Amino acid sequence: MHLNDKIAIITGGNQGIGRAAATALAAAGATVIIAARNEASGTQTAEFIQSQYPSYAHFYKLDITDPSAVNEMIQIMQKKFGHIDILVNNAGICSLSLPFEDLSIENWDNVMDVNVKGMVHCIKAVIPFFKKQMTGKIINIASLAGEVGGIATSADYVASKAAVIGITKSLARYLGPYNINVNAIAPGFITTEMTAAMSIPTGSIPLRRAGNPDDVANGIVFLSSARADYITGTTLDINGGLYMK
């Protein structure tokens, strides 16, 4: 699954699944651009990748809820490298499970702004370049919650991740004629900073363990590679068997 000469943008690539994805893509040969709000952890991640692999890594401070900032970043990266090949929409926020009536409209707006609208801003910005190239890979990070209604997360998060899956299918149909692959990954219980406060019921997971970010990163590399050229519109479940279709 060599990604030599590929340019990959990973939103939220400074920690958790995003950091693991950025590292795995670099290990496969891609140049990685880590787009995130936290400059300290983003810069540290880029420096770590460059110390471990010959691939180039760069941090770009970005708030994906700002469409003008997203457009500027995509324009800069396209001009700098001449092409963009992979977009991983990983940035997201999550809240622990709350009663539906306790979720404020502000809760809903915040989650949708990042998890759905932020992803949409990034995809809209990159589509013109992917169309012109007649190639590109878009990987959207959804969640098991969006498929089963949530286990430890609130309805706002569940709805946002269900939207990610629906948008992925819609885009796969729309962009297929341009040879652009659009897929989603739905992680189950993955041990990250965001899930640290959750009680993970590993006894109900057939593989009897929570996943780790590398488990998801491996799926991202696969969907980014030529081995997934005939896969589009799918949601890859990485959940240890907790949910089976």
Determine the Cα–Cα distance for residues 90 and 231; give it in Å rounded to an integer: 19
Determine the Cα–Cα distance for residues 62 and 74; give it in Å rounded to an integer: 11
244: its two tokens: 């089976």
Determine the Cα–Cα distance for residues 56 and 53; give it in Å rounded to an integer: 8
* Cα distances (Å, whole numbers) of residue 222 to 15, 28, 199, 209: 20, 10, 30, 22
Distance linking the first and last C-alpha atoms of the chain:
26
Active site residue 53: no
Determine the Cα–Cα distance for residues 197 and 118; give it in Å rounded to an integer: 25
The active-site residue, picked from 157, 178, 230, 243, is 157
- Dihedral angle sign, alpha carbons of residues 188, 135, 62, 52: positive
Catalytic positions are 157
